[in-house]
Amino acid sequence: MGYKRVVQATPLIRERCRELVLDNDKLRKIMEVFLNNVHRGLRKDTHPTSIVKCFPTYVQDLPNGTETGKFLALDLGGTNFRVLLIELSHEHFEMKSKIFAIPQHIMLGSGEQLFDHIAECLAIFVKEERVADQKLPLGFTFSFPLSQTGLTVGYLERWTKGFNCSNVVGNDVVQMLNEAIDRRGDIQIEICAILNDTTGTLMSCAWKNHNTRIGLIVGTGSNACYVEKQENAETWNDVDMGSGNVLINLEWGAFGDDGALDFVRTEYDEDIDRNSVNPSKQKQEKMISGMYMGEIVRLALERFTKDGLLFGGKGSDMLFERGRFYTKYVSEIESDPPGVFNNLRDICEELGLKHASEQDYINVRYICECVSRRSAHLVSAGLATLLNKMGEKKVTIGIDGSVYRFHPHFHNLMMEKIKELADPSIEFDLMLSEDGSGRGAALVAAVAARLQKEKQAVQT
Ligand code: GLC
């Protein structure tokens, strides 16, 4: 009497989840290999065969707050496609946007169809916003691996995150968009920059916080970019506009594609990979990001149920259906206070698991926690590696993405783990980006315009 029962997952469940727990020894091993991968990506001789590509972005300068103007932006690469109109004035910005769906048949169709669709959405938007008669500069946030040879030239290296359009890999996507716009003939656009969402996130945080040196996405996919010295980015060969720096898009989702993470991957990770549209690619991303997190949990639940450890051994059609356990469930389940299972009860009902017991709830929550913690810990290991490498004493990390935004403990898990893994003399903070993909695109275009103007002023 008077004692609250200790609520713990059953020993067998805990035992089976052990492989999902990455202790600091494992994380430090991962950091060591990751650092090595980053060096390989940066060096000219090893870049072609490197797994972590470290693509130079041709963005050399961070915003200084003086950028102004009216810009269009496109944002492709998450769950939605958006078109935005952004007006920057000193320390202030206004934004209008419209979301368009990218239907599955377009995600898996031809490149020409994809870019025709994008151009059509853009035309609808500029007409609705009554700016069709102005030739506005446009920043294109295209969140896939691009090998760039300039700020407006980007060759798609591979599709990720469920996209697989034909005849795009190897092509310049800026040119493909321009061609689609020309095919329509009803709008005029000047594409000023193509960028990754991590770059947009870094730029949009740097606009407000001048210590920002890293941009991170933990959303549908996962990736990071950071400020590197031009001399270390050996595959980059443009003129230094003064900062001596260049942003590097790591494309860290691919980490592990050579087997480097096999020592921590589980049967669920292998299952996810086998059944994806890009088998054997983006192995670290598949352990971290929102496109896969719910499915990892579902696969574990399915396995444990079939082994008689959950739901009295009786699952449901929905529990056994691929993709039916959404990543947002993980956030919802962990949002309930410990020992409270309001969201989880609803989710179990939704999945036809009315017969779930209190112990099942405890177990399911525990499994969710193991999967989301592992994701946060992998992200933290990557960030700690960058912090240690950069050697700056005070760094802000700008972050965006649905997992970071909506998971109730992701931020704290990251703070705690980065502190354990990074050099203790480095001060860091994690800053949620306000719409990095949209505002960041405008900022990249604006900074490019500012530098151009400054350069012309010096020459005349
Ligand atoms: C995938 C893409 C990468 C992007 C990330 C986050 O990893 O390859 O370019 O930054 O998803 O959206």
Residue 380 appears among annotated catalytic residues = no
> Beta partners for 392?
none
What average pLDDT score do residues 382-405 get? 97
Task: Give the residue whose CA is nearest to atom 1 of ligand 1.
Answer: 221
pLDDT higher at 229 or 94: 229
> Beta partners for 93?
88
| Candidate from 285, 286, 405, 435 with most ligand 1 atoms within 8 A of CB, to mutate | 285
Q: How many Å apart are CA 241 and CA 232, to the nearest integer? A: 16
Residue 215 phi/psi, 5-degree rounding, is: -120, 135
Given a cut of 60, whether residue 426 has pLDDT beyond it is yes
What domains can be seen in the chain, in order of their start residue? 57-208+435-448 (3.30.420.40)
Q: What is the pLDDT of residue 245?
A: 96
Given a cut of 70, whether residue 4 has pLDDT beyond it is no
> Is the CB–ligand 1 distance for residue 285 below 6 Å?
yes
> Is the CB–ligand 1 distance for residue 404 below 6 Å?
no
Residue 87 phi/psi, 5-degree rounding, is: -120, 120
Q: How close is the Cα of 423 to the center of ligand 1, in Å?
A: 27
Q: What is the pLDDT of residue 417?
A: 98
Q: How many Å apart are CA 313 and CA 241, to the nearest integer? A: 64
pLDDT by residue (tens digit) across 246-262?
A: 999 999 999 999 999 99
Q: Is the dihedral of CA 308, 309, 312, 315 positive or negative?
A: negative
Q: What is the pTM of this model?
A: 0.96
Task: Give the residue whose CA is nearest to atom 9 of ligand 1.
Answer: 144
The residue annotated as part of the active site, out of 61, 116, 143, 360, is: 143
> Is the CB–ligand 1 distance for residue 154 below 6 Å?
no
> Is the CB–ligand 1 distance for residue 294 below 6 Å?
no
Locate 55 and state its tokens.
Answer: 């693509």
Q: What is the pLDDT of residue 260?
A: 98
Q: What is the pLDDT of residue 25?
A: 98
**381-409: string of b/e by CB count within 10 Å (b at 16+)?**
bbbbbbbebbeeeebbbbbbbbbbbbbee
Q: What is the pLDDT of residue 1?
A: 45
Given a cut of 70, whether residue 274 has pLDDT beyond it is yes
Strands 146-150 and 137-142: unpaired
Residue 40 appears among annotated catalytic residues = no
Q: How many Å apart are CA 67 and CA 2, to the nearest integer? A: 63
Q: How close is the Cα of 210 to the center of ligand 1, in Å?
A: 24
With CA atoms as reference, report the closest residue to 398 among 349, 374, 434: 434
Nearest ligand 1 atom to alpha carbon 253: 7
The residue annotated as part of the active site, out of 197, 273, 360, 435, is: 197
pLDDT by residue (tens digit) across 136-147?
A: 999 999 999 999
Q: How many Å apart are CA 190 and CA 438, to the nearest integer? A: 16
Task: Give the residue whose CA is nearest to atom 12 of ligand 1.
Answer: 221
pLDDT by residue (tens digit) across 171-196?
A: 999 999 999 999 999 999 889 999 99
> pLDDT tier at 458 (50, 70, 90 boundaries)?
confident
Find tokens 């078109």 and name the residue. Answer: 83
| Candidate from 217, 250, 278, 405 with most ligand 1 atoms within 8 A of CB, to mutate | 217
pLDDT higher at 7 or 265: 265
> Is the CB–ligand 1 distance for residue 253 below 6 Å?
yes
| Candidate from 158, 194, 251 with most ligand 1 atoms within 8 A of CB, to mutate | 251
Q: How close is the Cα of 143 to the center of ligand 1, in Å?
A: 5
Given a cut of 70, whether residue 27 has pLDDT beyond it is yes
Q: What is the mean pLDDT of the chain?
A: 94
pLDDT by residue (tens digit) across 309-324?
A: 999 999 999 999 999 9
Q: What is the pLDDT of residue 457?
A: 77
> pLDDT tier at 3 (50, 70, 90 boundaries)?
low
Nearest ligand 1 atom to alpha carbon 225: 10
> Is the CB–ligand 1 distance for residue 111 below 6 Å?
no
What average pLDDT score do residues 256-281 get? 98
Q: Which long-range contacts (CB under 8 A, 24 or more apart) does 5-8 make?
A: 7/338, 7/339, 7/362, 8/362, 8/366
> Is the CB–ligand 1 distance for residue 400 below 6 Å?
no
Task: Give the residue whose CA is nearest to atom 4 of ligand 1.
Answer: 143
pLDDT by residue (tens digit) across 32-90?
A: 999 999 999 999 999 999 999 999 999 999 988 888 889 999 999 977 899 999 998 87
Asked if 216 contacts 202 with a C-beta cutoff of 8 angstroms, the reply is no
% of the chain residues with pLDDT over 90: 85
Task: Give the residue whose CA is nearest to atom 2 of ligand 1.
Answer: 144
pLDDT higher at 67 or 459: 67
With CA atoms as reference, report the closest residue to 72 among 15, 133, 136, 22: 136
Nearest ligand 1 atom to alpha carbon 78: 12
